[in-house]
Structure 1
Amino acid sequence: MNHGPNIPDPDGNEDLFAALEADLDNDSQGGDVADLANVRALRPGYLPHQPKPTDPPSDGGEQVELVPTDDDHDDEDGPSVYVDDPALSLSKVPVERRREPLLPKWASNAAQFKAAARWAAGQAAYVTAFHAIRLPWYGAKLALRAPRGLARTVGRASRWVSDAQGAPMRGVAVRREDAELYLKLTRQRDAKVRLRGLIAAVAGAIGAVALSVLWVMSPGWTHLALLAAAVAAFGKLGAPADEPLISRSVVKNKTPRLTSDIVERALMSLGIAGMGKGAIAFPAPITRDGPGWRADVDLPHGVTAGDIMERRKRLASGLRRPLGTVWPEGNADEHEGRLVLWVGDKDLSKTGNVVWPLAKDGRHDLFNPIPFGRDPRGRWINVPLVQHNVLFGSQPGQGKTSAVRVLASGVALDPSAEMWTHELKGSGDLDPFEAVSHRFVSGIDAESIEYAAESLKLLRKEVMRRTGALKKLPRDLCPDKRVTRQIADMGIGLHPLACIIDECQNLFADPAVGKQAGEDAEFIIKIGRAFGVILLLATQRPDKDSLPTGISGNVSIRFCLRVAGQIENDMILGTSAYKNGVRATTFRPETDAGLGYLVGATSTATAVRTAYLDADATEKIARRAHAMRTAAGTLTGHATGQSPQTSEPNSTLLDDLSAIWPPKEPRVWSETLTTALAALRPDTYGGWAPEQLTSALKPLGIEPGQISRRIDGKVVNRRGFDRDDLTTAIADRNRKRSAS
């Protein structure tokens, strides 16, 4: 066989090519002939053999004359170039080798190891308690079965001594009238009976003597132990075959182990083109991962992990598992065709509430991510806030406000962070944070909406101020022109500032202030993140009118609980999220409350069940945060009028109000009073809004009310105060002073 001119291989692979050709030569049938040709084509210096004009024809026919074609003029364009460079083939191609971990993931991960140990200890404790409670019943059952067990024991012993098992053979001899065989069997039986009878008698005598001595020589508690042991032993022997003594403490779910066959069958049932038998590969073994199974799958060429994620319901059907146990996701560290399929032992909605690690004690540094919740595998997912903005969205009743509480609690537990809290529903869900908020409002009325709009306007000015302050810092202290913990602690007004607006659709959809509020929020989101200003927005109506696209398109972290359709899904999670399989529409109403997709805080979209904080838990966190801020001296604004540390509110305000109260006016609007107070004492009351006056007077027992005025022929209603309430409060104060 001609292999062309003998050109040396510059890469030293001559022996390797020769070995490959030899192997293929010996097995060159069917498709292997093509493989042989491909190997030879890659061999350096190989030129396929062509008959020359002078070569004799191989079949004995006429000689072949070569006719030149256009392809024979390659020399004019230069030498041919290999598309697949042989110098980079086979041994020259670097192979990436990844070492498998020495320990399984549940043993190498501290959190998963603790979870496994906690589960094992809990299981053992439960089984022990279950059977301990039933010990009296077990004893009664053994006592009832003991006589039957004793009778069975005596019967088996007598049959053994009398050689009852040989009776059928002797019966055969009698029926055959074989006297010789019968006599032989009888003699054998007599010998066995004598020997076994002697053994039984000796054993019985020794046992009786030993039991008598033990009974006489041992204390009383031993008699009870012997009696209990005898009852237990005979009761065990007397148990019916179809009635076990011990009840089952745990009924095991018949959940099959996840295998490659099950995964392949489920993926094939999705109806994706190219997903046939043998089309997928498993680059790693299917292993336990937390409370479930993990399967790494290489999908067919052209199929992405998103194609599987968008068919999650059908995949769960193919696996024959509940929807809440099936969680497919991609692996961005590998390639788009790598699928990580995690199948849990239990539906995520039935795993109980997630306990927040800072609920009972501890403080938080806002420059570190806040613990937010757990993913389906039980791993903690943390959310960074500094240099980020967060958007929450869901239908009503799906746990949106509870998710806001978690991050708001993290902000509150950092004494250096300033909180502006706006709850525009009026339900009081965020009222615990009033005691630590620089600005606070709770309500759905026009005044509350205007207050929130004013906050965004002030926040925009604050961002502008911070840009100038940060610009003045030396480059060695602030090389990236971003606020750091070191800069925040310098006391130059660059501390973290988090503005929370729950039910923000009521603000942005307001015809009077909504447009300007949207522009201010967009400016803050785009510019403020580098200067320590954080915006947290939550909405239950994610549409273009209630959530401006400039806001939804620029937030960096998004959390979406159940929503109704694709438009709402993509408004919160970003364009094409639904198409890529990240679908909050698959969450079940109420059943999956608190469960949503988190985008931006992790490398890939992650399903997260948020930690649960009810009103009482949030109140305790707020009190702890208030104590921290009081000790650090960081209570400002609205929070100073709500401080529980103040046993007697500032009574100077009462005197100032009495001084500026308009004559002959029994009731006055709040705006009029704050303007007059600011003119009286600019340093004290300058910049006060009506809400701050309301907060300051509330501890004194003075509540605002609606006051009507006719202006230009129209009736205008605004909130204000009554002079009689002020007079009563001053009288009460003076009475207390006189009594003391």
Structure 2
Amino acid sequence: MKHEEDGDEERELFARLEADMRADGSADRIEMVKTRSSGDGSADPSPDRSAGRGPIGSADPVALVDGPAPADPSLFDRLRQARRRPVVPAWARSRAGLIEAAGWLGGYAWHVTAFHAVRVPVYGGRLALRSPAGLARLAGALGRWLRDAEGAPLRRLAAEKGDAAAYIRLTGLRNNRVRLRTMLFLLASVAGAGLALALWVLAPGWLLAAAAACVAVLGWAGAPADAPVVHRAVETADAPRLTSEMVVKAMASIGISQITSEVAKGRDGIRFVSPIVREGPGWRADIDLPPGVTPADVLDRRPRLASALRRPLGCVWPEANAAEHEGRLVLWVGDRDLSKAGAVRWQLAQARRHDIFARIPFGIDPRGRGQSVPMVQHNILIGSQPGQGKTSAVRVLACGAALDPSVELWLHENKGTGDLDELEHVSHRFVSGIDDESIGYAADSLARLRQEVMRRAAAMKRLPRDLCPDKRITREIADRRSLELWPLVAVFDECQNVFAHAAHGKQAGEDAEFVIKVGRALGVTLVLATQRPDKDSLPTGVSGNVSIRFCLRVGGQVENDMILGTSAYKNGIRATIFRPEADAGNGYLVGATSAPAVVRVAYLDMNATKEIGQRARRLREAAGTLSGHALGEGAAQAGPSYDLLADVLSVVPAREERVWNERIAARLAELRPEVYGGWEAASVTAALKPFGVRARDVAGTTDDGTRTTRRGIVREHLLKAIAEREGNQGDG
């Protein structure tokens, strides 16, 4: 009896286990459990806790692992947690957005109108040439209508079947129809001829207009299908609509085993959390990936995904949505390759001025949305391989800072190509060169910045609490010039040449790290750009403490993480995905937005930069904020007591065809200490540049006999500048 009770208990337990397994979809494990149970009611003593229970047939109490299923949230709860879409589109929520949209619409209408207006004579010629073909088509159609060609197949079918009655009836109908149509045609012809004659006598102009209209209609009718008369004024992207079926097939083909195995079982492998929607110039799909799969795994296979979707690589941009969870993927597929979007117009290119405390427009993301960068209370690091758009990014930020007349600019372009020369006349400190003198000047700037940060810290400490409650530079504090706490932006392009320098590098790195850590809240912003991100060329204390990073194409994981931060590559933020040349100007922007974003940086050529520099100069002259290098750094003022060119010529004897500027500065200081005292090599460079005498690399020997290259001038150029000046004075 006891044995039968145990058997009944076992069967009941097995029935419960089987029901739970079927509810979980584990039918294959049911068979495994069945094979373990013997016919006499005994069970395999090995435990099977796959369903959260003890060994089958054991006398131990059943251990429940999963609690009771919670009740589904109510409709009210789901609605409270739902994400609301904006009622008004983003572009219509601001005056600037409305103006931009209206400007685009007006520009589009003007372009279409002008495009077709210019081609009106061409369209007229095409219509005239194609009108004979149109007349032939019209005559053919009229002939088929007159002879009732549409009824011929029915009459032919009746004749083939030998149905005489049907054939006779159809033929009679055809004859009646032909007589009626012929009569109508003759009446219309007579009426048309009479109308044409009346117009010829009474209104010949109308007759010509009617004839032109007829020619136009005939020409339109005679146009081949593959050669339309009117061409499109704009070419729109002919991209297919993104569908869930396309996404499922594409995700199943990129080699992620968890997705592939689910698809093999007849499932999708992924879950769409919302409908695929149109977002900007493309489509957006929000996807939950299988457990254990991250967006980084998809990003690794981005070329495969683009191939599966049959879209260019620059159209497919998968990204994480960590605001939800680590398995949420946002797949955005654009209509057009981002690399073919052309140069991005900078929003401040025509602006009269800008506030440095507002974000500076920087570029656009793949969805066409503007991306901007804050500068106050931040430091910025930009890195890439050569030729990928790093200097363009530096120029955009420098120009944005220049358009605020309260900003003190320190520009150091240690490549020597003159990329920032158009902003020299608004800079407090400026250098352009790769020689030892220029590197030393940049290193000296970092040392001075360190001292400036310390001065500002002491000045900030003395400010009253009501003026500076957060101990940070504000617009109000910056506008009080007496406090000398205005924003200071220092740019170091090709900073690796400074940090890797044998004589100046170590101290420059320490100074930069100090400024980055302390100066952020004191209004001092460093913008560092490098094409060689390694521990020797970019100290880890510098790269590890900047708050905003922009990385264009780099070659590998180490370089990627040096610019974008530790573990960036592991987390799927990979600037290695960008293609050489094709993706120049595209990079990952980290720290400026809530999530890392791919950005195509705006482009400013030298002419546009020159215009911005001139605007910035006028702003500073009006505000009285020009200082330092922009005022000549102690350069001699015009007057009768001395002549700069003559003085330089007097200290450069004929035997010296080329001479270093530092030696010219020393000799000028001996010649006129009251005028040239304190001049440096950079002072000579700035003072001679307006006369057309530009500094260049000059080889020479130091006092200890070492051969080296430093910045200097050519005596022949000095003589030429003097001759041109005297010639102009003579002409006057």
TM-score, reference length from structure 1: 0.77
Residues 152 and 107 of structure 1, relative CA distance in 2, 3 Å threshold: farther
Residues 550 and 188 of structure 1, relative CA distance in 2, 3 Å threshold: closer
Q: CA deviation at 1:147?
A: 4.5
What is residue 611 of structure 1 aligned with on the other side? 602
Q: CA deviation at 1:469?
A: 0.2
Q: Distance in 2 between matches of 1:392 and 1:640?
A: 30
What is residue 277 of structure 2 aligned with on the other side? 287
What amino acid does structure 1 have at the position aligned with 2:82? R
The answer to whether the aligner puts 1:507 opposite 2:492 as a matched pair is no
The DSSP-based 3-state class of the residue aligned with 1:669 is: helix
Q: Distance in 2 between matches of 1:141 and 1:723?
A: 70
Q: Which of 98, 112, 118 is residue 83 of structure 2 equivalent to? A: 98
CA deviation map 1:222-272 (0-9, x unaligned):
2223334444556667x5987766476477765321111111222222322
Q: Which of 663, 669, 675 is residue 663 of structure 2 equivalent to? A: 669
Residues 651 and 565 of structure 1, relative CA distance in 2, 3 Å threshold: farther
List gaps (5 residues or longer) in structure 2: 1-16, 25-56
CA deviation map 1:519-559 (0-9, x unaligned):
00000000001000011111111111011000010011111
What are the equivalent positions in structure 2 for 1:234-253 lying under 5 Å apart?
A: 239=222, 246=229, 249=232
What amino acid does structure 2 have at the position aligned with 1:336? E
Residues 734 and 590 of structure 1, relative CA distance in 2, 3 Å threshold: closer
What is residue 49 of structure 2 aligned with on the other side? none
What is residue 406 of structure 1 aligned with on the other side? 396
Q: Is the 8 A contact 2:146 2:181 kept in 1?
A: no
Q: Distance in 2 between matches of 1:732 and 1:120?
A: 50
Q: Is the 8 A contact 2:413 2:420 kept in 1?
A: yes
Q: Distance in 1 between matches of 2:189 and 2:377?
A: 88
What are the equivalent positions in structure 2 for 1:515-534 lying under 5 Å apart?
A: 515-534=506-525
What is residue 489 of structure 2 aligned with on the other side? 498
Q: CA deviation at 1:597?
A: 0.8
Q: Distance in 2 between matches of 1:234 and 1:706?
A: 78
CA deviation map 1:13-56 (0-9, x unaligned):
xxxxxxxxxxxxxxx99669859xxxxxxxxxxxxxxxxxxxxx
Q: Distance in 2 between matches of 1:604 and 1:520?
A: 30
The answer to whether the aligner puts 1:144 opposite 2:135 as a matched pair is no
CA deviation map 1:477-513 (0-9, x unaligned):
1111001010111111100111111111111111111
Q: CA deviation at 1:274?
A: 2.6
The DSSP-based 3-state class of the residue aligned with 2:429 is: strand
Rg comparison, structure with higher value: 1
Q: Is the 8 A contact 1:649 1:699 kept in 2?
A: no
Q: Distance in 1 between matches of 2:215 and 2:722?
A: 86
CA deviation map 1:126-170 (0-9, x unaligned):
874697454234323442125424542552354149986775478
What is residue 55 of structure 1 aligned with on the other side? none
Q: Distance in 2 between matches of 1:133 and 1:108?
A: 43
Residues 346 and 161 of structure 1, relative CA distance in 2, 3 Å threshold: closer
Q: CA deviation at 1:593?
A: 1.2
Residues 482 and 246 of structure 1, relative CA distance in 2, 3 Å threshold: same
Q: Is the 8 A contact 2:435 2:711 kept in 1?
A: no
Q: Which of 568, 576, 599 is residue 577 of structure 1 equivalent to? A: 568
Q: Which of 447, 450, 453 is residue 443 of structure 2 equivalent to? A: 453
The answer to whether the aligner puts 1:264 opposite 2:258 as a matched pair is no
Q: Distance in 1 between matches of 2:358 and 2:308?
A: 41
What are the equivalent positions in structure 2 for 1:550-699 lying under 5 Å apart?
A: 550-641=541-632, 649=638, 669=663, 672=666, 688-696=679-687, 699=690
What is residue 541 of structure 1 aligned with on the other side? 532
Q: Is the 8 A contact 2:496 2:532 kept in 1?
A: yes
CA deviation map 1:397-446 (0-9, x unaligned):
11111110000001111111001111111111111121111111111111
What amino acid does structure 2 have at the position aligned with 1:508? F
Q: Is the 8 A contact 1:435 1:642 kept in 2?
A: no
CA deviation map 1:622-658 (0-9, x unaligned):
1111111111111111110299xx9974666769x98
Percent identity of equivalent pairs: 50
Q: Distance in 1 between matches of 2:172 and 2:446?
A: 112
CA deviation map 1:328-382 (0-9, x unaligned):
1222332222222111111111111111122233211111111111111111111
Q: Distance in 1 between matches of 2:150 and 2:283?
A: 59
Deviates more, 1:442-451 or 1:334-343: 334-343
Deviates more, 1:358-367 or 1:372-381: 358-367
Q: Which of 307, 310, 326 is residue 336 of structure 1 equivalent to? A: 326
The answer to whether the aligner puts 1:390 opposite 2:380 as a matched pair is yes
What amino acid does structure 1 have at the position aligned with 2:206? T
Q: Distance in 2 between matches of 1:128 and 1:731?
A: 55
Deviates more, 1:207-216 or 1:411-420: 207-216
Q: Distance in 2 between matches of 1:700 and 1:152?
A: 80
Q: Is the 8 A contact 1:561 1:587 kept in 2?
A: yes
The answer to whether the aligner puts 1:159 opposite 2:147 as a matched pair is yes
Q: Is the 8 A contact 1:161 1:193 kept in 2?
A: no
The DSSP-based 3-state class of the residue aligned with 1:520 is: helix
Q: Is the 8 A contact 1:669 1:718 kept in 2?
A: no
The DSSP-based 3-state class of the residue aligned with 2:362 is: strand
Residues 149 and 697 of structure 1, relative CA distance in 2, 3 Å threshold: closer
Q: Which of 361, 364, 383 is residue 354 of structure 2 equivalent to? A: 364
Q: CA deviation at 1:105?
A: 6.6
Q: Is the 8 A contact 1:299 1:339 kept in 2?
A: yes
What is the RMSD computed on CA atoms of the aligned residues? 4.7
Q: Is the 8 A contact 2:685 2:694 kept in 1?
A: yes
Q: Distance in 2 between matches of 1:113 and 1:411?
A: 27
The DSSP-based 3-state class of the residue aligned with 1:335 is: coil
Q: CA deviation at 1:728?
A: 13
Residues 68 and 510 of structure 1, relative CA distance in 2, 3 Å threshold: closer
Residues 304 and 211 of structure 1, relative CA distance in 2, 3 Å threshold: same
CA deviation map 1:603-638 (0-9, x unaligned):
111111111111121112111111111111111111
CA deviation map 1:55-80 (0-9, x unaligned):
xxxxxxxxxxxx998869xxxxxxx9
What is residue 49 of structure 1 aligned with on the other side? none
The answer to whether the aligner puts 1:439 opposite 2:429 as a matched pair is yes
Q: Distance in 2 between matches of 1:520 and 1:647?
A: 32
What amino acid does structure 2 have at the position aligned with 1:295? A
What amino acid does structure 1 have at the position aligned with 2:143? G
Q: Distance in 1 between matches of 2:544 and 2:688?
A: 42
The DSSP-based 3-state class of the residue aligned with 2:319 is: strand
Residues 87 and 603 of structure 1, relative CA distance in 2, 3 Å threshold: closer
Q: Distance in 2 between matches of 1:432 and 1:251?
A: 37
CA deviation map 1:65-105 (0-9, x unaligned):
xx998869xxxxxxx99985889765599431233444667
Q: Distance in 2 between matches of 1:419 and 1:441?
A: 12
What amino acid does structure 2 have at the position aligned with 1:260? S
What amino acid does structure 2 have at the position aligned with 1:259? T
Residues 428 and 94 of structure 1, relative CA distance in 2, 3 Å threshold: same
What amino acid does structure 2 have at the position aligned with 1:270? I
Q: Distance in 2 between matches of 1:457 and 1:658?
A: 32
Q: Is the 8 A contact 1:146 1:232 kept in 2?
A: no
Q: Distance in 2 between matches of 1:146 and 1:720?
A: 76
Q: Is the 8 A contact 1:421 1:499 kept in 2?
A: yes
Q: Distance in 2 between matches of 1:609 and 1:161?
A: 62
